[in-house]
Amino acid sequence: MFDYSEIIKKAGILVEALPYIQALAGKTVVIKYGGNAMINGDLKNSVMEDITLLKYIGLNPVVVHGGGPDINTALKNFNIESEFINGLRKTDKQTMEVAQMVLAGKTNKEIVSLINQKGGKAIGICGIDGMLLECEKHYETVNGEKIDLGYVGSIKKINTRVLEILTQDEYIPVVAPIGTDENGQSYNINADTVAAELASALKAEKLILLTDVEGVKDSEGNILYTITSERVESFIDNGVIVGGMIPKVMGCVSALEHGVNRTHIIDGRIPHCILLEIFTNKGIGTMITKQIKPYYDNEKL
């Protein structure tokens, strides 16, 4: 007799996803795509499949991408040295030209092409298009000293109209983190920051950050699958959350304060990480939310 057990398991997975599909239909999900998932070919494909599937089942994904490895390679080819301050690349005029060329050109169009190959309809833009991201010069503070990072920008204003037009139709916007000031000068912007602020401006249901870590961990190294923004701040104060994870979780907290319902920090090294986090009860990373509020009665948070 044919063994139906594996097929039945697959049916169970689809049934588990059903209440999430119902809760998220028509909602906007902002995804920050970066880390190893941008380098490994198999992971690239699984992420693009996930994003395409989200659109097909009724969600509205908006993708924001980084591109550090591509920029590093291009700068090396031009014999340009890089300097980082608090994780931000110091960007002179020549570096800015290379970053814009790589992010808005090579990296952006590769992502668009991959999504289109999976059956999606992606459109690549950057913050300059439609005045999506209006910027001003960003200064970083180190030991009380104000440091000029060159052409690194902070977002002043977001024109969401261009994204709303695309997402309300059949398209998937893919956004490169380049903005412009009122004089037309281009600036490089941290991709995590762009994703968080776009999610806030769009009042997205979810903000998802793909990283190269399993999620936020407690002092004993255990993954925290669901935490509130209030606990995040106490974890930072107590030294549980440190280093490069701090700006990510604070971006999530800021998005929650501006109307985003759920934020997620997930491991982009796991195939189909987006689907596993959104459509399964336990998920695979850390969900940060303002308050624990289930999508449906039996959801276990």
DSSP calls for 75-131: HHHTT----EETTEE-B-HHHHHHHHHIIIIIIHHHHHHHHHHTT--EEEEETTGGG
> Does 171 reside within a domain?
yes
Residue 1 has pLDDT above 70, yes or no: no
How many CB atoms within 10 Å of residue 146? Answer: 8
Beta-carbon count within 10 A of 4 CB: 9
CA distance 119 to 62: 16
Residue with tokens 């994204």: 163
* Burial group, residue 216, by CB count within 10 angstroms (0-12, 13-18, 19+): buried
The model's confidence at residue 121, banded by pLDDT at 50, 70 and 90, is very high
Identify whether the C-beta of residue 235 lies closer than 8 Å to the C-beta of residue 241.
Answer: yes
- 29 belongs to a structural domain: yes
Mean pLDDT of 178-206: 95
Residue 1, domain member (yes or no) = no
* Cross-strand bridge partners of residue 211: 267
Where residue 130 falls among pLDDT bands split at 50, 70, 90?
Answer: very high
Position 178 in a domain: yes
Q: Is residue 298 part of a domain?
A: no
Q: How many domains does the chain have?
A: 1
Judge whether residue 291 has pLDDT over 90.
no
Q: What is the mean pLDDT of residues 288-296?
A: 87
Confidence of residue 37 (pLDDT cuts 50, 70, 90): confident
178: confidence class by pLDDT, cuts 50, 70, 90: very high
In a domain, 257, yes or no: yes
DSSP state, residue 232: H
What's the pLDDT at 140?
85
Is residue 300 situated within a structural domain?
no
**pLDDT at residue 189, as a whole number:** 94
Residue 217 covered by a domain:
yes
Domain encompassing residue 180: 20-289
- What are the CA-CA distances from residue 235 to residues 197, 231, 259, 266, 287 (Å)? 23, 6, 22, 18, 15
What confidence category does residue 300 fall into, taking pLDDT thresholds of 50, 70 and 90? Answer: confident
- In this structure, what CATH number is given to the domain that contains residue 127? 3.40.1160.10
